[in-house]
Amino acid sequence: MVGTQHRANALTPAACVAVDWSGALTTVRARLWLAEARTNGLVRVECGYTRKELVDELIECARRDPRLVVGLGFAFAFPLWFQEQLGLRTAREQWLHVAREGEDWLARCPAPFWGRPLFRKPHFPAHHSEWRATESEHPPVGGIGPKSVFQIGGAGSVGTGSLRGMPQLARLQDAGFAIWPFDRPRLPLVVEIYPRYLSGAVDKSNGAARALYLEAHLASEPRALLEQAASCEDAFDAAVSAVSMQRFARDFARLARARRSAVERREGRIWVPLRDPLFERWLRTGAQARISGPAPRPPAAPR
C-alpha cells in the first residue's frame, strides 16, 4: 500500500498547463494560448508567445517546480506505416526528421499531405490509413473528432501545428520532460490532448456559448481569467483543458500502471481522463444542455 501511494504521489502534479497549439506564422502570438491550473483553480490564461518562447516558458516552469503536467493540442506522431516508409524507428527519430523536412512538406504539400489550395485529399488504401490508432478509439463529440495529421489546410486542420510542434517535443525531452507514452511516465510530463474530449460538446465559435459554458462549469474561477477564456476559441480550449486536467490530476498516476503497447510507443496516444461518474456529471450540469444539447458520453478509459 505504501508503494502504491508513493507512485500515486510521484505522478500527481501540483500544476497542469494546457496549450492550445498553433501552426500559424505571422499571427502565432495571438493564436498560441497557455492556461495554468492548480488545486485552487485557474491562475493564468495568456497568449503573446512564439512557439520557441512558449517552450522556453514550459521549461522554466518545470525548473521552478517539476511537479508539472503539460497538455499540448497537436498530434505527437504519424501513423506507423508512414514512419516505416520513412525508415524511422522511434518517436524521437520522427521528431528530428520533421525538424529537417517539415517546412518543405508544408511548402510543397506532397502526398500523403493535403489541404492546401489545389491539393486534394489523396486516396488512402486500407493498410495505409490517414489515422493513428488513438484517433479511432473514441466516438466524435457533437459530431466532431480529431482531424488527420496529414491535413495541413482547411477548417480544424491539425497537420500544420503538428509539423511545427513535433520538433519542440525533442526540446522538451532534452530539458527533462517525459513525453507520454513514448517515455515511461514521470514528472515533469507532457501529454497530447484533444480539447473537445475535455470540454464535451459546445459551439466554441459562438462567443455567447463560450461564456455560458464557462459560467456553468468554471463559475468559481477568477472573473478576469474567465473573460480571457471567453475571448476566443483558442483561449477557451486552453482554459477548459487546464481545469479538466487539474480536476483529474490524480488520474495521471494510473499511467505508471498502464501497459504501453508497441504501437503507442511509436504513434502516441491522446490523453483523456479516466471515465467516472463525477466527470459525467460535470459535463451534464448547468447550462450544458442549453448550450449544445445532450452531453456526449465521456470517452472510455485508455487501455
For 103-137, write each residue's pLDDT tens digit.
999 999 999 999 999 899 999 998 899 999 999 88
Local confidence band at 287 (pLDDT 50, 70, 90 cut-offs): very low
DSSP the chain: -HHHHHHHHHT--SEEEEEE----STTHHHH-EEEEEETTEEEEEE----HHHHHHHHHHHHHH-S-EEEEE-S--S--HHHHHHTT--SHHHHHHHHHHHHHHHHHH--TT-B-STT-PPPP--TTS-SS-GGGGSS--BTTB-PPPTTB-SSTT--HHHHHTTHHHHHHHHHTT-EETTTS---SSEEEE--HHHHH-S--TT-HHHHHHHHHHHSTTS-HHHHHHHHTSHHHHHHHHHHHHHHHTGGGGGGGGTS---HHHHHH--B--PPP-HHHHHHHHSTTHHHHHSSPPPPPPPP-
Q: Say whether pLDDT at 211 is over 50.
A: yes
- Residue with the three cell numbers 478509439: 137
Instruction: Judge residue 71's burial from the number of C-beta atoms within 10 Å of its C-beta, 0-12 exposed, 13-18 middle, 19 or more buried.
Output: buried
Given a contact cutoff of 8 angstroms between Cβ atoms, the answer to whether 197 and 245 are in contact is no
Q: Say whether pLDDT at 2 is over 50.
A: no
221: Cα separation from own chain's centroid: 22
Given a contact cutoff of 8 angstroms between Cβ atoms, the answer to whether 300 and 275 are in contact is yes
Q: What is the CA radius of gyration of the chain?
A: 18
Peptide bond into 181 cis (omega under 30): yes
Q: Say whether pLDDT at 285 is over 60.
A: no
Q: Grid coordinates in use for 107?
A: 511548402
- Across the chain, mean pLDDT equals 88
55-64, 144-153, 268-277, 286-295 — which one is most confidently predicted on average?
Answer: 55-64
Measure the CA–CA gap between 224 and 45, rounded to whole angstroms: 9
Measure the CA–CA gap between 162 and 172, rounded to whole angstroms: 15
Identity of the residue numbered 93? E
